[in-house]
Structure 1
């Protein structure tokens, strides 16, 4: 039993011994912190969730940019006469809608007008979801129609 139980040499002075003890405490503290971090399942799950969210946001940005680029490419390929006709048709539709709105305001009862305006506001607030749902409906309709 003349050798110490560890590989480190024994301290020659009390000062060296204090330094070795302090160094060992620091290492032990770091080890305990590392073990505690590994056992903290909630914190690790939150870190993974934050990482997944960052990846999703980045992917969404990429997809949005790609969609904008594709839309621009498609729009470039549309002939000018078709664009002009579409613009005219859109103008006519807006004009007819405005006329119908005026008739509606004159003839519809107040509670019905209020509920209708609330529904229209809700549709405007959720425009992207409605467009996505309409797109899905069109794709489904085309798929069913194609199978016939």
Structure 2
């Protein structure tokens, strides 16, 4: 048998000895659990993946907010006459799109129309993201135009 550590008193009664044994077993069990957790690569990888996913979602939220802010700033800098022309052009585009839609419904195969409808639904579901991307594209276009 080994000698007890110098900092721990020896048991004087069988009851104290049992308590020391139970305490030592509990500590040993905790140590084994900690070692097992460190060697569980799959669980650690899953924890890390969840952490990275959470960080990515937070960063995406920050970027989305920043892009929306930039789009607002760009809209504020656009002169009134340009905005009026843009609204007029948008109305004309809507008319042309409606006309093209009627032609599409008459001539496109059903399977192609179904896939297109799914894509259109995805675009409607992500409208904010698409508008933000369009705003960023306008900012980039204006910046390139001014440099050139």
Alignment of 1:58-97 (within 5 A): 58-97=58-97
Unaligned runs of 5+ in 1: none
1:45 aligns with 2:34: no
TM-score of the pair, normalised by structure 2 = 0.74
Which structure ranks higher in relative contact order (CA pairs < 8 Å, sequence separation ≥ 6)? 2
Unaligned runs of 5+ in 2: none
Cα distance in 1 between the residues matched to 2:109 and 2:56: 41
Cα distance in 1 between the residues matched to 2:52 and 2:89: 45
Per-residue deviation at 1:113? 4.7
Structure 1 residues 43 and 101 mapped into 2: Cα distance closer, same or farther (>3 Å)? closer
Residue by residue, what CA displacement relative to the aligned partner does 1:91-146 show, whole Å, maximum 9, x if unpaired?
Answer: 011112223433555xx45xx35244224313314436xx67xx6xx99xx8xxx9
Structure 1 residues 18 and 57 mapped into 2: Cα distance closer, same or farther (>3 Å)? same
Cα distance in 2 between the residues matched to 1:104 and 1:48: 48
Residue by residue, what CA displacement relative to the aligned partner does 1:48-91 show, whole Å, maximum 9, x if unpaired?
Answer: 11111111111111111111111111111111111111011110
TM-score of the pair, normalised by structure 1 = 0.74
Q: Which moved more, 1:4-13 or 1:26-35?
A: 4-13
Cα distance in 1 between the residues matched to 2:42 and 2:101: 55
Per-residue deviation at 1:18? 1.4
Structure 1 residues 31 and 104 mapped into 2: Cα distance closer, same or farther (>3 Å)? closer
**Structural RMSD (CA):** 2.7
Which 4+ runs in 1 deviate beyond 4 A?
Answer: none
Structure 1 residues 25 and 75 mapped into 2: Cα distance closer, same or farther (>3 Å)? same
Cα distance in 1 between the residues matched to 2:74 and 2:111: 38
